[in-house]
Structure 1
């Protein structure tokens, strides 16, 4: 369910359920929370660990999974309300991962 500008909740179209292997939107929501929420929390933990110089790998993996899931979603369901914003977020995450990777690469060449 999504909150609309009118203060009421709206649901994803019922027609979309015929295109996915789920009976309702609860299971995909839980899967998304676990995969993207937990995955990015683990990625953040790796980033804050001082001895880990490979933190960009987990972030790049999560950004790649997010980007690929959006592509699959567009193929299966077509565009919906927040697809463009999510594409932007996944590209930002991939760019930040590349930036950190290049920083580590540059730093390792200096030594």
Structure 2
């Protein structure tokens, strides 16, 4: 099973790494998770594989892939008052682990990677 790599979009409350890192540190269970949307699920990856995250030109750490899902997900904005529903294919991730920063150019979507913890 292959690991994957994706980029955190730098918009809204996700522009600064310190803010993103606080969110990621709270993603430590199936109830507190991070998702990203995708058109197609990675066929050569799956639950138990790792997903490395790029932000501000660096690989910052990785999550464990919990599942692929097309169930609706509700996300709160920075005001934490109104949840917005997101539909479509999503990769559900949990248990954030930081790694020493490695330079990496951001991109849209996901890619397979040879990165290891």
| TM-score calculated relative to the size of structure 2 | 0.21
- Structure with the largest fraction of helix: 1
Q: Radius of gyration: which is bigger?
A: 1
- Structure with the largest fraction of strand: 2
Higher relative contact order (CA 8 A, sep 6+): 2
